[in-house]
Amino acid sequence: MKTHVTPEVLAKILPEMKTNSGKPQFSTPLEQAEQEILLCRKNSIEITIPGDSDYPSELNDGSGPDFIEYLGNPEVLNNRTVTIVGSRAASKYGMDLAFKLSEILAREGFCIISGGAYGIDGAAHRGAVAAKGFSGVFLGGGILKPYPDRHIPLFKEIIKLGGVVMSFVPATFPLMPWVFLRRNRYMAQASMATVVCEAQIRSGSLSTARHAMKCSKLVFSTSDSPGCQILAGAGAMVFEEVEEIVSFLHAKKTL
Protein backbone atom coordinates (compact mmCIF):
# COMPACT_ATOMS: atom_id res chain seq x y z
CA MET A 1 0.00 0.00 0.00
CA LYS A 2 1.26 3.48 -0.92
CA THR A 3 -1.28 5.27 1.25
CA HIS A 4 0.42 7.35 3.90
CA VAL A 5 -2.35 9.85 4.66
CA THR A 6 -2.77 10.11 8.42
CA PRO A 7 -6.18 9.90 10.12
CA GLU A 8 -5.64 13.41 11.49
CA VAL A 9 -5.24 14.84 7.98
CA LEU A 10 -8.08 12.82 6.50
CA ALA A 11 -10.44 13.78 9.33
CA LYS A 12 -10.29 17.41 8.19
CA ILE A 13 -11.37 16.71 4.59
CA LEU A 14 -13.74 13.73 4.58
CA PRO A 15 -17.43 14.53 3.97
CA GLU A 16 -19.51 13.25 6.87
CA MET A 17 -21.05 9.81 6.49
CA LYS A 18 -24.61 9.52 7.79
CA THR A 19 -27.00 6.68 8.55
CA ASN A 20 -30.30 6.20 6.72
CA SER A 21 -31.98 8.20 9.47
CA GLY A 22 -29.68 11.15 8.83
CA LYS A 23 -27.57 10.78 11.96
CA PRO A 24 -23.74 10.82 11.86
CA GLN A 25 -22.39 7.34 11.23
CA PHE A 26 -19.33 7.97 13.40
CA SER A 27 -18.94 9.69 16.76
CA THR A 28 -16.07 11.94 15.59
CA PRO A 29 -14.40 12.90 12.29
CA LEU A 30 -11.22 11.21 13.52
CA GLU A 31 -13.05 7.92 14.06
CA GLN A 32 -14.48 8.14 10.55
CA ALA A 33 -11.02 8.79 9.10
CA GLU A 34 -9.47 5.88 10.98
CA GLN A 35 -12.19 3.51 9.76
CA GLU A 36 -11.88 4.84 6.20
CA ILE A 37 -8.16 4.13 6.10
CA LEU A 38 -8.71 0.61 7.47
CA LEU A 39 -11.43 -0.04 4.88
CA CYS A 40 -9.21 1.15 2.05
CA ARG A 41 -6.28 -0.95 3.20
CA LYS A 42 -8.53 -4.01 3.40
CA ASN A 43 -9.61 -3.49 -0.22
CA SER A 44 -6.21 -2.42 -1.62
CA ILE A 45 -7.53 1.09 -2.29
CA GLU A 46 -5.00 3.91 -2.29
CA ILE A 47 -5.66 7.40 -0.92
CA THR A 48 -3.84 10.43 -2.26
CA ILE A 49 -4.03 14.14 -1.43
CA PRO A 50 -2.71 17.26 -3.21
CA GLY A 51 1.06 17.34 -3.21
CA ASP A 52 1.51 13.57 -3.17
CA SER A 53 3.52 12.00 -5.98
CA ASP A 54 0.55 9.92 -7.12
CA TYR A 55 -1.91 12.84 -7.21
CA PRO A 56 -2.80 13.72 -10.86
CA SER A 57 -0.82 16.76 -11.98
CA GLU A 58 -3.68 18.49 -13.83
CA LEU A 59 -5.77 18.46 -10.65
CA ASN A 60 -2.94 19.63 -8.42
CA ASP A 61 -3.52 23.38 -8.75
CA GLY A 62 -5.51 24.05 -5.62
CA SER A 63 -8.93 23.54 -7.19
CA GLY A 64 -8.85 19.74 -7.41
CA PRO A 65 -10.36 17.27 -4.94
CA ASP A 66 -9.18 17.30 -1.33
CA PHE A 67 -8.50 13.58 -1.62
CA ILE A 68 -8.77 10.79 -4.18
CA GLU A 69 -9.35 7.09 -3.57
CA TYR A 70 -8.23 4.90 -6.43
CA LEU A 71 -7.54 1.44 -7.79
CA GLY A 72 -4.97 1.08 -10.54
CA ASN A 73 -2.40 3.52 -11.86
CA PRO A 74 -3.20 7.26 -11.64
CA GLU A 75 0.02 8.13 -13.45
CA VAL A 76 -1.74 7.46 -16.78
CA LEU A 77 -3.61 10.73 -16.18
CA ASN A 78 -0.34 12.64 -16.42
CA ASN A 79 -0.01 11.70 -20.09
CA ARG A 80 -2.08 13.03 -23.00
CA THR A 81 -5.68 12.70 -21.88
CA VAL A 82 -9.06 13.25 -23.54
CA THR A 83 -12.43 13.21 -21.79
CA ILE A 84 -15.26 11.64 -23.81
CA VAL A 85 -18.78 12.05 -22.44
CA GLY A 86 -22.42 12.11 -23.51
CA SER A 87 -25.91 10.78 -22.91
CA ARG A 88 -26.62 7.62 -20.95
CA ALA A 89 -29.54 6.83 -23.26
CA ALA A 90 -27.42 7.29 -26.36
CA SER A 91 -28.22 6.32 -29.93
CA LYS A 92 -26.28 3.67 -31.83
CA TYR A 93 -24.65 6.47 -33.81
CA GLY A 94 -23.43 8.20 -30.65
CA MET A 95 -22.20 4.95 -29.10
CA ASP A 96 -20.33 3.95 -32.26
CA LEU A 97 -18.80 7.41 -32.51
CA ALA A 98 -17.57 7.34 -28.91
CA PHE A 99 -16.16 3.83 -29.28
CA LYS A 100 -14.34 4.60 -32.53
CA LEU A 101 -12.89 7.89 -31.29
CA SER A 102 -11.74 6.31 -28.04
CA GLU A 103 -10.22 3.32 -29.79
CA ILE A 104 -8.26 5.49 -32.24
CA LEU A 105 -7.02 7.90 -29.58
CA ALA A 106 -6.06 5.08 -27.21
CA ARG A 107 -4.01 3.46 -29.98
CA GLU A 108 -2.29 6.83 -30.45
CA GLY A 109 -1.29 6.84 -26.77
CA PHE A 110 -4.02 9.02 -25.29
CA CYS A 111 -5.65 8.11 -21.98
CA ILE A 112 -9.45 8.21 -22.24
CA ILE A 113 -11.34 9.69 -19.29
CA SER A 114 -15.05 9.18 -18.71
CA GLY A 115 -17.56 8.62 -15.93
CA GLY A 116 -18.14 4.88 -16.21
CA ALA A 117 -21.90 5.16 -16.77
CA TYR A 118 -24.14 3.56 -19.39
CA GLY A 119 -24.27 5.00 -22.89
CA ILE A 120 -21.46 7.18 -24.19
CA ASP A 121 -19.28 6.70 -21.08
CA GLY A 122 -19.29 2.94 -21.38
CA ALA A 123 -18.66 3.06 -25.12
CA ALA A 124 -15.67 5.34 -24.58
CA HIS A 125 -14.15 3.05 -21.97
CA ARG A 126 -14.75 -0.03 -24.13
CA GLY A 127 -13.04 1.64 -27.08
CA ALA A 128 -9.91 2.18 -25.01
CA VAL A 129 -10.04 -1.42 -23.78
CA ALA A 130 -10.42 -2.68 -27.36
CA ALA A 131 -7.24 -0.81 -28.24
CA LYS A 132 -5.46 -2.25 -25.19
CA GLY A 133 -4.94 1.36 -24.16
CA PHE A 134 -5.34 3.40 -21.00
CA SER A 135 -8.58 4.66 -19.53
CA GLY A 136 -9.54 6.55 -16.39
CA VAL A 137 -12.91 6.06 -14.71
CA PHE A 138 -14.08 9.02 -12.59
CA LEU A 139 -16.86 7.60 -10.42
CA GLY A 140 -19.85 9.59 -9.17
CA GLY A 141 -19.95 7.74 -5.85
CA GLY A 142 -17.78 5.69 -3.53
CA ILE A 143 -15.23 3.35 -5.06
CA LEU A 144 -16.77 0.36 -3.25
CA LYS A 145 -20.19 1.29 -4.65
CA PRO A 146 -19.35 1.62 -8.36
CA TYR A 147 -22.16 2.66 -10.66
CA PRO A 148 -23.42 0.84 -12.59
CA ASP A 149 -22.83 -2.64 -11.16
CA ARG A 150 -22.90 -4.15 -14.64
CA HIS A 151 -19.75 -2.24 -15.53
CA ILE A 152 -17.64 -3.76 -12.75
CA PRO A 153 -16.05 -6.29 -15.17
CA LEU A 154 -15.24 -3.37 -17.49
CA PHE A 155 -13.64 -1.44 -14.63
CA LYS A 156 -11.54 -4.47 -13.70
CA GLU A 157 -10.34 -4.80 -17.30
CA ILE A 158 -9.40 -1.11 -17.34
CA ILE A 159 -7.28 -1.61 -14.22
CA LYS A 160 -5.73 -4.77 -15.67
CA LEU A 161 -4.62 -2.81 -18.74
CA GLY A 162 -2.87 -0.20 -16.59
CA GLY A 163 -5.67 2.33 -16.21
CA VAL A 164 -7.30 3.73 -13.10
CA VAL A 165 -10.68 3.85 -11.35
CA MET A 166 -11.05 6.72 -8.90
CA SER A 167 -13.48 8.41 -6.55
CA PHE A 168 -13.55 11.70 -4.68
CA VAL A 169 -15.74 10.67 -1.75
CA PRO A 170 -15.46 7.97 0.95
CA ALA A 171 -15.43 4.38 -0.31
CA THR A 172 -19.04 3.57 0.60
CA PHE A 173 -20.48 7.04 -0.06
CA PRO A 174 -23.87 6.90 -1.83
CA LEU A 175 -24.68 8.39 -5.22
CA MET A 176 -25.64 12.05 -4.82
CA PRO A 177 -26.20 14.83 -7.41
CA TRP A 178 -23.53 17.14 -5.98
CA VAL A 179 -20.93 14.39 -6.27
CA PHE A 180 -21.69 13.91 -9.98
CA LEU A 181 -21.42 17.64 -10.65
CA ARG A 182 -18.09 17.88 -8.86
CA ARG A 183 -16.87 14.75 -10.66
CA ASN A 184 -17.79 16.34 -14.00
CA ARG A 185 -15.60 19.33 -13.19
CA TYR A 186 -12.66 17.10 -12.34
CA MET A 187 -13.02 15.19 -15.62
CA ALA A 188 -12.82 18.44 -17.55
CA GLN A 189 -9.91 19.71 -15.50
CA ALA A 190 -7.88 16.51 -15.79
CA SER A 191 -7.80 16.37 -19.60
CA MET A 192 -6.51 18.49 -22.46
CA ALA A 193 -9.80 18.21 -24.36
CA THR A 194 -13.43 17.24 -23.77
CA VAL A 195 -15.51 15.60 -26.49
CA VAL A 196 -19.31 15.45 -26.22
CA CYS A 197 -20.54 12.78 -28.62
CA GLU A 198 -24.26 13.15 -27.94
CA ALA A 199 -26.26 15.07 -25.33
CA GLN A 200 -29.74 16.18 -24.48
CA ILE A 201 -30.50 19.62 -23.04
CA ARG A 202 -30.31 18.46 -19.41
CA SER A 203 -27.37 16.08 -19.88
CA GLY A 204 -24.68 16.13 -17.22
CA SER A 205 -22.10 16.08 -19.99
CA LEU A 206 -22.95 19.73 -20.69
CA SER A 207 -21.61 20.66 -17.25
CA THR A 208 -18.38 18.82 -18.05
CA ALA A 209 -18.03 20.76 -21.31
CA ARG A 210 -18.78 24.09 -19.63
CA HIS A 211 -16.14 23.43 -16.98
CA ALA A 212 -13.66 22.61 -19.74
CA MET A 213 -14.43 25.94 -21.41
CA LYS A 214 -13.91 27.76 -18.10
CA CYS A 215 -10.53 26.04 -17.81
CA SER A 216 -9.65 27.15 -21.37
CA LYS A 217 -9.54 23.51 -22.48
CA LEU A 218 -10.51 22.30 -25.95
CA VAL A 219 -14.16 21.30 -26.36
CA PHE A 220 -15.47 19.31 -29.31
CA SER A 221 -19.10 18.52 -30.05
CA THR A 222 -21.26 16.88 -32.68
CA SER A 223 -24.14 18.90 -34.11
CA ASP A 224 -27.01 16.42 -34.25
CA SER A 225 -28.44 16.49 -30.69
CA PRO A 226 -30.04 19.36 -28.72
CA GLY A 227 -27.38 19.54 -26.02
CA CYS A 228 -24.56 19.49 -28.54
CA GLN A 229 -26.22 22.30 -30.49
CA ILE A 230 -26.15 24.39 -27.32
CA LEU A 231 -22.43 23.70 -26.94
CA ALA A 232 -21.78 24.60 -30.57
CA GLY A 233 -23.47 27.94 -29.97
CA ALA A 234 -21.28 28.46 -26.90
CA GLY A 235 -18.07 27.99 -28.86
CA ALA A 236 -17.43 24.25 -29.00
CA MET A 237 -15.68 23.02 -32.13
CA VAL A 238 -18.14 20.97 -34.18
CA PHE A 239 -16.90 17.77 -35.79
CA GLU A 240 -18.44 15.18 -38.09
CA GLU A 241 -15.66 12.58 -38.34
CA VAL A 242 -13.39 11.33 -35.56
CA GLU A 243 -10.36 11.87 -37.78
CA GLU A 244 -10.95 15.63 -37.48
CA ILE A 245 -10.35 15.50 -33.73
CA VAL A 246 -7.35 13.19 -34.00
CA SER A 247 -5.71 15.46 -36.58
CA PHE A 248 -6.42 18.57 -34.51
CA LEU A 249 -4.98 17.10 -31.32
CA HIS A 250 -1.85 15.94 -33.10
CA ALA A 251 -1.41 19.42 -34.53
CA LYS A 252 -1.36 21.00 -31.08
CA LYS A 253 2.13 22.19 -30.22
CA THR A 254 1.59 21.19 -26.59
CA LEU A 255 1.81 17.55 -27.69
Q: What are 36-78's pLDDT values in tens digits?
A: 999 999 999 999 999 999 999 999 988 899 999 999 999 999 9
Q: Average pLDDT over the chain, rounded to whole?
A: 92
Instruction: Look at residue 200 in the predicted model and tell me its pLDDT.
Output: 86
Residue 220 maps to a domain: yes
Please report whether residue 8 resides in a domain: no
For residue 72, the model assigns a pLDDT of 98
Q: Is the pLDDT of residue 3 over 60?
A: no
Strand ranges for the chain from DSSP E? 46-48, 68-72, 81-85, 111-114, 135-138, 164-167, 193-196, 218-221, 237-238
On the 0-12 / 13-18 / 19+ scale of CB atoms within 10 A, 181 is middle
Per-residue pLDDT band at 250 (split at 50, 70, 90):
confident
170: CATH: 3.40.50.450
The pTM of the full predicted model, rounded to 2 decimals, is: 0.93
Residue 86 lies in a domain: yes
Residues whose CB is less than 8 angstroms from the CB of residue 166 and which lie 6 or more positions away in sequence, other chains included: 68, 69, 70, 71, 72, 74, 136, 137, 138, 139, 143
Write the pLDDT tens digit of every residue in 101-147.
Answer: 999 999 999 999 999 999 999 999 999 999 999 999 999 999 999 99
Question: Residue 160 corresponds to which amino acid?
Answer: K
**Which amino acid is present at 15?**
P
Report if residue 44 sits inside a domain.
Answer: no
- CA torsion, points 190, 192, 196, 200, in degrees to nearest 10? 50
In a domain, 143, yes or no: yes
How many domains are contained in the chain?
A: 1
Contact assessment for residue 47 and residue 170, using Cβ atoms and an 8 Å cutoff: no
Instruction: List helix spans (H) across 27-91.
Output: 29-42
Q: Does the CA dihedral 205-134-148-43 come out positive or negative?
A: negative
Which pLDDT belongs to residue 202? 82
In a domain, 10, yes or no: no
Examine residue 2 and state whether it is found in any structural domain, yes or no. Answer: no
Structural domain includes residue 54: no
Question: What distance in Å separates the CA atoms of residue 223 and residue 239, rounded to the nearest whole number?
Answer: 8
pLDDT at site 2 = 60
Q: Domain range holding 140? A: 74-251
The reported pLDDT for the residue numbered 212 is 95
Q: Is the pLDDT of residue 251 over 90?
A: no
Q: Strands across the sheet with 193-196, in order?
A: 46-48, 68-72, 164-167, 135-138, 111-114, 81-85, 193-196, 218-221, 237-238
